[in-house]
Amino acid sequence: MPESRPRSGQTLAERAAFVREQARWIRKRALRMVFDARQGHPGGDLSATDALAALYFDAMRYDPADPRWVARDRFILSKGHATGALYSTLALAGFFPQEELTTYMQPLSRLNGHPNRNKIPGVETNTGPLGHGMPVAVGIAIAAQIDKADYRTFIITGDGELQEGSNWEAAMTAGHRKLSSLTLIVDRNRLQQGAGTEDTVGLDPLDDKFRAFGWDVVEVDGHDIEALLPLLDGSTPHERPLCIIANTVKGKGISFMENKASWHHGVPNAEQYEQAMKELDA
């Protein structure tokens, strides 16, 4: 079965350049969707885009023609409100026509504000209620361990949702069972709806918390594609679950959105949209 794209013979720099171009398209398409729908979560879309692009256009094994292929790698977007980025990624990867993105948030559209596995090919589980994605991902990784299957499970959480206790129950279980096929990417943009994470319920030292629960932990710039790829492509094996703390910027790539909590679910006006698209093209 096909992988997301062949990597043989390519340098890390070449692979990263390809992923970076996909990420640019995803950012622009996600912002257009939010602008047209007059609703969405652009700040979190933009902070998670580089990790999504690295997964779908380099690291993961999947077949968009057979979304339930048993040997596929699994991905869960626990921060389910970031559907602008997720749907753009899935459409670009071929799971459904890109033209359908124009229906985002419209009546009777499959592309709701939170992803639905019963409607959208490529979605592994319904998410939106924060803190639910991690337990599901751990369950999937346990199934792989029991079946001795070689597929991997990836999950992106927001950092704010790590204030939910269900994540830590799941983390404790994953560490106890040494779920080496499980990789968590924390979108660590340090902002949640209305305030900073450390002003709401502080998470630091986040790395020490995961290590205490039996995880391997790596902290990286979440927008550095060349740093992300070796952690995601299987070339860096780990015997325990892996937590990648990806330090990101909410609203990445758009000057007036960056590091602003108000853009958690803000919608640009026409002038702002035009400026944002120019900046993303730069």
13-33 tens-digit pLDDT: 999 999 999 999 999 999 999
Report helix, strand or coil for 153.
Answer: strand
What rounded mean pLDDT belongs to the chain?
95
- Residue 4 belongs to some domain of the structure: no
- Residue 7 belongs to some domain of the structure: no
Residue pLDDT, tens place only, 140-179: 999 999 999 999 999 999 999 999 999 999 999 999 999 9
- Residue 53 belongs to some domain of the structure: yes
pLDDT band at 7 (very low <50, low <70, confident <90, very high): low
Query: Which among 36, 89, 31, 80 has a CA at the least distance from the CA of 59?
Result: 89
pLDDT at 251: 97
Q: What's the total number of domains in the chain? A: 1
Residue pLDDT, tens place only, 85-128: 999 999 999 999 999 999 999 999 999 999 999 999 999 999 98
- Residue 3 belongs to some domain of the structure: no
- Residue 5 belongs to some domain of the structure: no
Measured at the CA of 230, the angle between CA 226 and CA 234, to 5 degrees, comes to 155
**Which structural domain range is residue 242 located in?**
12-281
Query: At which residue do the structure tokens 């459409």 appear?
Result: 91
pLDDT at 8: 66
CATH number at residue 176: 3.40.50.970
Q: How many Cα atoms occupy the beta-carbon half-sphere of 41 within 13 Å?
A: 24
- Residue 207 belongs to some domain of the structure: yes
Give the containing element (helix H, strand E) for 84: helix 83-92
pLDDT band at 237 (very low <50, low <70, confident <90, very high): confident
Residue pLDDT, tens place only, 22-80: 999 999 999 999 999 999 999 999 999 999 999 999 999 999 999 999 999 999 999 99
**Torsion sign over Cα 101, 106, 110, 113:** positive
- Residue 6 belongs to some domain of the structure: no
Task: Report how far Cα 115 is from the mean position of its chain's Cα atoms.
Answer: 13
pLDDT band at 216 (very low <50, low <70, confident <90, very high): very high
| Residues in Cβ contact with 241 at an 8 Å cutoff, skipping those fewer than 6 apart | 141, 171, 174, 175, 178, 179, 180, 182, 183, 184, 214, 215, 216
- Residue 156 belongs to some domain of the structure: yes
pLDDT at 236: 83
CA distance 76 to 78: 6
Which pTM value belongs to this model?
0.96
DSSP letter at 124 equals -
Query: At which residue do the structure tokens 């990417």 appear?
Result: 185
